[in-house]
Amino acid sequence: MTRFAMGLDFGTESVRALVVDCDRGREVAEAVSPYAHGVISKTLPGKKKPLPLDFALQHPGDYIESTRKAVRQVLKSAPASKIVGIGVDFTACTILPIRRDGMPLMLLPRFRKNPHAWVKLWKHHAAQPEADRVNEVGRARREPLLKYYSGLISSEWMVPKCMEIARKAPDVYRAADLIVDAGDWLVFQLTGQFTRNACAAGYKGLWNSKLGFPSKSFLGALDPRVRNLADKWLKNIVVPGRRAGLVSREFARKSGLRAGTPVSAATIDAHSGVSGMGVSGEGTLSIIMGTSSCHMVLSRKLRLFNGYAGVTKDGIIPGFYGYESGQNAVGDVFAWFTRDFLGAPFDRLSKKARLLKPGQSGLVALDWLNGARSVLMNANLSGMVLGLTLSSKPEEVYRALIEGTAFGTKIIVEAYRDNGVPVRELAVCGGLVKDPLILQIYADIIGLPVRVAASNQAVALGAAIFGAVAAGKEAGGFATASEAIAKMTRPPAATYKPDRAAAKVYRQLFETYRKCHDFFGREQTALMVGLKKLMRRA
């Protein structure tokens, strides 16, 4: 008997519904439905008043409507009766203030015009002063939870975003019974049950399996107005693949799904890609390579050190500590250089870059064009190209930029290895894995095999996998994530192995990269930071 699982993958612009055969990993139906209002960053819909700088909002109704459409679409090729479970992944940290009954405050007439009542998308960056405050106070108090985030939290995360509401819109803050992750809110829409997913709670919500939630005393020290903030949070933490609830009759009616279908707790989109890439244990660094890169690695051991963005127990796959690192700009760097800077056709440049030998250009680039996340955690660093001569060519700089991002990944790999988290191979998915030049350079520079996910939709596939796990064996799913992963993912589409000669040259170039990395990123951070300050002042 055929059995399917469904993944609902909520990205920045749209939701994707993917239906997967639980026995063979065949992707049987897929639909994408964009959010009607997209990313709201200029004005609220239909209003003229400009939003403040760095705002990025969404309309929660869009999620429901797009889900309905995408689900109805896939159900045309995959009958609802055969879907044993549903998984949900969502961008993070994307949050919204709601009433206890799940009603988003922005849907109430009195809050409709208040941007702080809307969904704050992951890339809403206006809470930087609040993040600075968390870091400063946390450091001063030596809050142990900060150790799980290399000592630094981001303006994208839950606490700064909640603080921003409390400070800028006290009435919204007061009226909010709950402030929840959008992924958890979505699961509530499907099931009528509130759960808090361990993934978003752990990586973005300062929740810790050992330390619990931030204390009243810490929150109060941040700002007396948020002393009781934790009261507004969901507290029933649920790990990925654990059943959060069953599809409600109401949502079944809306979407055509079968009422009673098990739904997994939500996960963060990138993290969902790990299982979608077929990774279920130690030794693999999983990378989602797109406009930016997100790196995840599983380990049985907890190692606290500076260099990752966060570590959470059971955060990615139950049974493991999941570590997360990031590079703020990867595909964005290549797009900037080819499209914006040169205005040159990407293909021609890439073709020329492919003909170059390692080291031939004499160039080395620092890849921090959008700041440096792991391992330096400094948004005010910037990019550099070293070794320019009067015969330097655009394709040489382009290749150096690719190499720069690979060196950046190597720094991340070395940080894990140096601290006892094994990394023996890379698994990759995302928009950039179609480019063999990029992947061969990564293999040669990092010195590890790079295997490309079989699925083009590894993130949605990961969600489907957790859907099948949430179903459980008795309901036609799987007992464990590793079983589901083994059945529902296929062998790599390709594996890139390091070329010995290239790797040798790149080892030398990496030493140059590392010296520049340490000089500008550690010893003399004031140089790049000073340039950013001058930019802002001019």
Residue 356 beta carbon to its own copies: minimum distance, rounded to whole angstroms: 8
Tokens 């296929």 found at: 490
- The SS3 of residue 26 is coil
Rule CB under 8 A: which of 336-355 touch its own copies? 336, 340-342
Of 68 and 532, which CB lies nearer to its own copies in the complex structure? 532
How is residue 71 written in tokens?
């689900």
Residue 417 beta carbon to its own copies: minimum distance, rounded to whole angstroms: 25
Residue 124 beta carbon to its own copies: minimum distance, rounded to whole angstroms: 18
Of 137 and 385, which CB lies nearer to its own copies in the complex structure? 385
Reference 362, options 504, 509, 499; nearest CA is: 509
Residue 359 beta carbon to its own copies: minimum distance, rounded to whole angstroms: 4
How many residues contact its own copies, by CB under 8 A?
Answer: 48
Residue 5 beta carbon to its own copies: minimum distance, rounded to whole angstroms: 38
Tokens 């922005």 found at: 106
Residue 366 beta carbon to its own copies: minimum distance, rounded to whole angstroms: 8
What is the per-residue binding string for its own copies in 225-244, x denoting contact by CB under 8 A? --------------------
Residue 535 beta carbon to its own copies: minimum distance, rounded to whole angstroms: 4
Residue 143 beta carbon to its own copies: minimum distance, rounded to whole angstroms: 32
DSSP for 454-513, please give it. S-TTHHHHHHHHHHHHHHTGGGTS-SSHHHHHHHH----SEEE---HHHHHHHHHHHHHH
**Beta partners for 191?**
none
The binder of its own copies chosen from 137, 211, 386, 494 (CB under 8 A): 386
The binder of its own copies chosen from 174, 235, 357, 417 (CB under 8 A): 357
Q: Which stretch binds its own copies (CB under 8 A): 57-65, 119-127, 239-247, 325-333?
A: 325-333
Is 393 an interacting residue with respect to its own copies (CB under 8 A)? yes
* Helices 394-418/436-446 angle, 10° precision: 40
Is 193 an interacting residue with respect to its own copies (CB under 8 A)? no
Is 389 an interacting residue with respect to its own copies (CB under 8 A)? yes
Q: Which stretch binds its own copies (CB under 8 A): 97-105, 164-172, 328-336, 441-449?
A: 328-336
Q: What is the DSSP letter of 519?
A: I
Is 524 an interacting residue with respect to its own copies (CB under 8 A)? yes
Contact predicate 416/285, CB 8 Å: yes
Is 527 an interacting residue with respect to its own copies (CB under 8 A)? yes
Residues 6+ apart with CB under 8 A from 287: 293, 294, 295, 296, 409, 426, 427, 428, 429, 430
Report the alpha-carbon distance of residue 283 to residue 434 in Å, rounded: 24
Pairing of strands 364-366, 196-197: unpaired
Residue 314 beta carbon to its own copies: minimum distance, rounded to whole angstroms: 35
Is 39 an interacting residue with respect to its own copies (CB under 8 A)? no
Measured in whole angstroms, how far is the alpha carbon of residue 517 from the centre of its chain? Answer: 24
Report the alpha-carbon distance of residue 294 to residue 412 in Å, rounded: 11
Is 383 an interacting residue with respect to its own copies (CB under 8 A)? yes
Please give the sequence-ordered ranges of beta strands (E in DSSP) within 22-66, or none if there are none: 27-34, 57-58
Is 382 an interacting residue with respect to its own copies (CB under 8 A)? yes
How is residue 356 written in tokens?
């170059």
Rule CB under 8 A: which of 497-516 touch its own copies? 505, 508-509, 512, 515-516
Residue 349 beta carbon to its own copies: minimum distance, rounded to whole angstroms: 12
Is 363 an interacting residue with respect to its own copies (CB under 8 A)? yes
Reference 391, options 366, 361, 365, 349; nearest CA is: 361
Is 85 an interacting residue with respect to its own copies (CB under 8 A)? no
Is 360 an interacting residue with respect to its own copies (CB under 8 A)? yes
Reference 368, options 414, 412, 401; nearest CA is: 401
The binder of its own copies chosen from 17, 105, 369, 458 (CB under 8 A): 369
Is 128 an interacting residue with respect to its own copies (CB under 8 A)? no
The values of phi and psi at residue 520, to 5°, are: -80, -25
Query: What kind and span of H or E run contains 359?
Result: none
Tokens 């609040």 found at: 130
The binder of its own copies chosen from 268, 329, 433, 441 (CB under 8 A): 329
Residues 6+ apart with CB under 8 A from 37: 45, 58, 59, 62
Residue 263 beta carbon to its own copies: minimum distance, rounded to whole angstroms: 38
Cα maximum dimension of the chain: 69
Rule CB under 8 A: which of 410-469 touch its own copies? none
Report the alpha-carbon distance of residue 210 to residue 415 in Å, rounded: 24
Reference 498, options 441, 437, 456, 454; nearest CA is: 441
- The SS3 of residue 77 is coil
Report the alpha-carbon distance of residue 349 to residue 438 in Å, rounded: 13
Q: What is the DSSP letter of 111?
A: T
Report the alpha-carbon distance of residue 41 to residue 38 in Å, rounded: 9
Q: Which stretch binds its own copies (CB under 8 A): 74-82, 326-334, 427-435, 488-496?
A: 326-334
Is 519 an interacting residue with respect to its own copies (CB under 8 A)? yes
The binder of its own copies chosen from 1, 53, 355, 390 (CB under 8 A): 390
Residue 388 beta carbon to its own copies: minimum distance, rounded to whole angstroms: 3
Q: What is the DSSP letter of 308?
A: B
Q: Which stretch binds its own copies (CB under 8 A): 169-177, 212-220, 406-414, 527-535?
A: 527-535
Of 16 and 399, which CB lies nearer to its own copies in the complex structure? 399
In the complex, which residues of this chain contact its own copies (CB under 8 A)?
329, 332-333, 336, 340-342, 357-364, 369-370, 382-394, 505, 508-509, 512, 515-516, 519-520, 524, 527-528, 530-532, 534-535, 537-538
